[in-house]
Each structure stands twice: as structure tokens, then as C-alpha cells.
């Protein structure tokens, strides 16, 4: 049970890294997970890197161009600073539900959730009864990758930054992330999404990610069964707009390596387009 709790603490915050992006009216983006931000008064370039919230060790990769960008940067910026003890304490508290699922969910919802857990394998309703529904969702989605040796890009970036004694920062807090999630999904919507999740979706997403095809990633994870308009607003658009407002001051005097979910990069309200509209030059790093 202790290991299950620990895994959930890590996975639950990273689940935001693959939230979907649906607006694609802006020009088609080149295939790259790494983008350089320059101009508009910046003394040094900043780098945007699109992550995936989790990936099997056998599929994990980090290109040489990304390593070089990380090496020349002066500060690591994540969606949430997972190296901050305060943020991790908040995460541990929020993993647990305000009351047991057996009391907060209706009999029909519990029946559906039990069936989903049995389908995903390895987790019983009794094991997760004290968890929040979001925590349960994170665990179920992690099971769809069908491997036990998971790798987390954000955790590796943190380890590298700490080794270099480099500062680490965050664009938002755990509490604000949870608030976005609560606004995005009702209980029934969350359960319906879990009923639609499968291993093929995860496999297709990993293939597109390894080929650095941002547009393909969007097509895979923007289906209505994954995220409706309300969820897009709270999980993606509002957060991107807020990040685009605070990044200019952060990258004014130092080179940042900004690692966020790859789904936050593209589209009319994606970080690339928002920063371009703010006057910055944002171009793909291809080698």
C-alpha cells in the first residue's frame, strides 16, 4: 500500500503533462519537442521542451539537441516544482480523498469504477477507497502503458539540475492544478473517460512522441471521449494563457529550460503561438 501511495504521488501531478490541445487553426508546427525562444529583448535564449507524463523505460529517449539545450540553460522550470517540499506535501495530502470513495460515489458509480479497476488489473476498489478519484484515474492511466519500469522526464530533469546545483522553479502550484482538474471534470465525466481509455491510445501516443510529431499527438488525444470543451478550457487554455503572462519576466535575464506537457505547446492558445504573439521568435530546434 505504501508503494501504491508513493507511485500515485508522482504520477498524479505528471498526469497534467498529457492534457490535450484541440485548437489547431495556427500554422502547422514542425516535428520537434524542443523550441528556442529569442528576441523581444531577451539577452539569452530560453528553451521550451514538451514532455510526456510517463513512459516505459524501453521507450525513453533524450535527444542530443535537448541535452545541449539543458546544459546551456541556467534554470529549470516545470509546471510544478516537484523539488519543493511544500508542493510535495500538498500533493501527498491531495492524493487522499476528503472521504472514502465508497461513501462519496453512488452505487452505480462504484460499480463502474470497480469494473474499470478489474479491467486495468492489479488494483482493487478496497485498495484505493481512501484515494481521491483523480488519484485513481492517474493509477489506471499509468497501467495502460503495460510496463512496470516507468520513467518520468520531469524527475530526470530535476535530478540533473540538482547535480549541477541549478535552480528549479514552477509555473503553478499543486493546489492550482487540482483546482483546474476539479473544474474540468465531474465525477461521471471522469468515470466515462476511464471507461474509454485503453492501451492502444497510450501506444499511439508514445509512437508519435518518439517521432516528435506534435500535430499527431494532438489528433490522438483530442478525441471528445478524452476531453470536452469545458475540460479544454480549464486543463489547457487558461493555464497556457497564465504561463505566457509570467514567462516573459522569468526569462528576461537568464536562459531557462522550460519542460511542460507537450500538449501545451501547439494550437492558437498553445505556448508557442502565445509567445509569438507577444513578440518573441519561437523556432524549432531540429539538431
Runs of H (alpha helix) within the chain: 2-14, 64-72, 85-95, 101-104, 107-120, 133-143, 153-163, 174-184, 187-196, 199-210, 214-221, 229-232, 238-250, 271-277
Amino acid 2: pLDDT:
45
At residue 223, the pLDDT reads: 62
Residue 75: what pLDDT?
97
Nearest C-alpha neighbor of 244 from the set 282, 214, 272, 283: 272
Three-state secondary-structure class, residue 97: coil
Position 225 confidence tier, pLDDT thresholds 50, 70, 90: low
Which positions ≥6 away from 54 have C-beta within 8 Å?
11, 14, 142, 145, 150, 151, 152
Q: What is the pLDDT of residues 259-271, one digit of tens each?
A: 998 888 987 888 9
Q: Which residue has the higher pLDDT, 85 or 145?
A: 85
Greater pLDDT, 145 or 121: 145
In the 8-state DSSP scheme, what is residue 184? H
Instruction: Report the C-alpha gap between 70 and 187 in whole angstroms.
Output: 39
pLDDT, residue 32, reads: 95
Strand 75-78 to strand 167-170: parallel, antiparallel, or no bridges (unpaired)? parallel
DSSP code of residue 27: P
Model pLDDT for residues 161-181, shown as the tens digit of each residue: 999 999 999 999 999 988 888
Q: Average pLDDT, stretch 115-121?
A: 84
Give me the residue label for grid cell 479491467.
119
87 burial class (0-12, 13-18, 19+ CB within 10 angstroms)? buried
Rg for the chain, CA atoms, rounded: 19
**pLDDT tens per residue across span 21-32:** 344 456 788 999
Indicate the pTM of the whole model: 0.88
pLDDT band at 39 (very low <50, low <70, confident <90, very high): very high
User: What sign results for the dihedral spanned by CA atoms 264, 267, 269, 275?
Assistant: positive
Count of CB atoms within 10 A of residue 42's CB? 17
Mean pLDDT of the region 194-203: 78
Rounded CA separation 242/278 (Å) = 13
Q: CA dihedral in degrees (7, 88, 37, 223; nearest 10)?
A: 50
Q: What is the pLDDT of residue 182?
A: 85
Residue 201 has pLDDT above 80, yes or no: no
1: burial class by Cβ within 10 Å (0-12, 13-18, 19+)?
Answer: exposed
Using CA atoms, how far apart are residues 17 and 273, in angstroms rounded to an integer?
18
Give dist(CA 142, CA 155) in Å, integer: 16
Bridge partners, 51 (sequence order): 261
* Upper half-sphere CA count for residue 79 (Cβ side, 13 Å): 33
% the chain with pLDDT above 90: 48
Residue 17 pLDDT more than 50?
no
- Comparing 49-53, 83-87, 209-213, which segment has the lowest mean pLDDT? 49-53
Task: Tell whether the model's pLDDT for residue 253 goes beyond 50.
Answer: yes
Amino acid at each position: 500500500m505504501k508503494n501504491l501511495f508513493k507511485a500515485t504521488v508522482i504520477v498524479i501531478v505528471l498526469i497534467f503533462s498529457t492534457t490535450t490541445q484541440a485548437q489547431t487553426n495556427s500554422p502547422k508546427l514542425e516535428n520537434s519537442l524542443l523550441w528556442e525562444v529569442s528576441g523581444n529583448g531577451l539577452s539569452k535564449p530560453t528553451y521550451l521542451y514538451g514532455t510526456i507524463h510517463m513512459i516505459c523505460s524501453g521507450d525513453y529517449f533524450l535527444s542530443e539537441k535537448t541535452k545541449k539545450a539543458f546544459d546551456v540553460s541556467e534554470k529549470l522550470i516545470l509546471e510544478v516544482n516537484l523539488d519543493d517540499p511544500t508542493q510535495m506535501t500538498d500533493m501527498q495530502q491531495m492524493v487522499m480523498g476528503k472521504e472514502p470513495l465508497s461513501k462519496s460515489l453512488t452505487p452505480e458509480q462504484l460499480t463502474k469504477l470497480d469494473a474499470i479497476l478489474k479491467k486495468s488489473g492489479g488494483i482493487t476498489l478496497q485498495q484505493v477507497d481512501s484515494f481521491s478519484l483523480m488519484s485513481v484515474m492517474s493509477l489506471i492511466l499509468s497501467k495502460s502503458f503495460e510496463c512496470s519500469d516507468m520513467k518520468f522526464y520531469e524527475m530526470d530533469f530535476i535530478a540533473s539540475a540538482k547535480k549541477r546545483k541549478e535552480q528549479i522553479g514552477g509555473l503553478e502550484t499543486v493546489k492550482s492544478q487540482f483546482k483546474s482538474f476539479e473544474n474540468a471534470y465531474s465525477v461521471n465525466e471522469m468515470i466515462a473517460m476511464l471507461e474509454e481509455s485503453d492501451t492502444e491510445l497510450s501506444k499511439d501516443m508514445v509512437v508519435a512522441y518518439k517521432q516528435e510529431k506534435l500535430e499527431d499527438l494532438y489528433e490522438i488525444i483530442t478525441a471528445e471521449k478524452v476531453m470536452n470543451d469545458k475540460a479544454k478550457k480549464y486543463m489547457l487554455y487558461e493555464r497556457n494563457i497564465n504561463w505566457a503572462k509570467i514567462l516573459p519576466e522569468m526569462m528576461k535575464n537568464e536562459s531557462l529550460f522550460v519542460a511542460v506537457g507537450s500538449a501545451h505547446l501547439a494550437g492558437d492558445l498553445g505556448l508557442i503561438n502565445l509567445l509569438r504573439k507577444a513578440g518573441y521568435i519561437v523556432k524549432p530546434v531540429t539538431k
